[in-house]
Amino acid sequence: MKILVLNGPNINMLGIREPEIYGSDSYKDLLELIAAHAQDKGVAVEFYQSNHEGSLVDEIQKAYFSGVDGIVFNPAAYTHTSVAIADAVKGVVIPTVEVHISEVSEREDFRQVSYVRAACVKTICGHGFAGYTEAIDYLIRYIGEKNEG
Ligand code: DQA
């Protein structure tokens, strides 16, 4: 099983950006946590982060052609603005879990909209970095059940 962990704008600045919201651990720490978890679970993970909307769309399309089984996706600010990213996720029909480090439901009004949510099989918010590993576990179960049925 191959899972793509996709992160949107400013996620590469974890540990520096608003630590009171996102914590003091870095993007590298996040990748190490996910890689160790994936290894434990016996799944292959690929990572991609971009600050650019079109690059994220390109990567989602690439995932389709390279046979990615599931996507863990934190679109960051593009969650609240991007129809193009939502369309890309919908279009490839790869099971995708939307992840947010912070509890977006308790934040500003403009964060209450998620264009991508309707294209995702699950949303995990406010669990910090653990949200990513929970998303991997969810996808392992989800894809396993889909393959059985
Ligand atoms: C975020 C929440 C978004 O509203 C914000 O723009 C981010 C990070 C999160 O992980 O909590 O950049 O997706």
Ligand 1 centroid from CA 64, angstroms: 25
**Does pLDDT of 147 surpass 90?**
no
Question: What does the block give as tokens for 100?
Answer: 């947010």
Quote the pLDDT of residue 129: 98
Say how far apart CA 112 and CA 94 lie, in whole Å.
Answer: 24
- The residue whose CB lies within 8 Å of the most ligand 1 atoms, and thus the one to mutate among 25, 51, 101, 106, is 101
Say how far apart CA 13 and CA 92 lie, in whole Å.
Answer: 28
Measure Cα distances from 137 to 41, 88, 97, 131 in Å. Answer: 8, 23, 10, 10
Ligand 1 centroid from CA 59, angstroms: 19
**Does pLDDT of 52 surpass 90?**
yes
**Does pLDDT of 146 surpass 90?**
no
Q: At what angle do helices 27-41 and 130-148 cross, to 10 degrees?
A: 30
* Atom of ligand 1 lying closest to residue 76 CA: 13
**Pocket lining: 6 vs ligand 1, CB cutoff 6 Å:** no
How close are the terminal C-alpha atoms of the chain, in Å? 17
For 100-143, how does the pLDDT look when each residue is reduced to its tens digit (9 = 90+)? 999 999 999 999 999 999 999 999 999 999 999 999 999 999 99
Quote the pLDDT of residue 98: 98
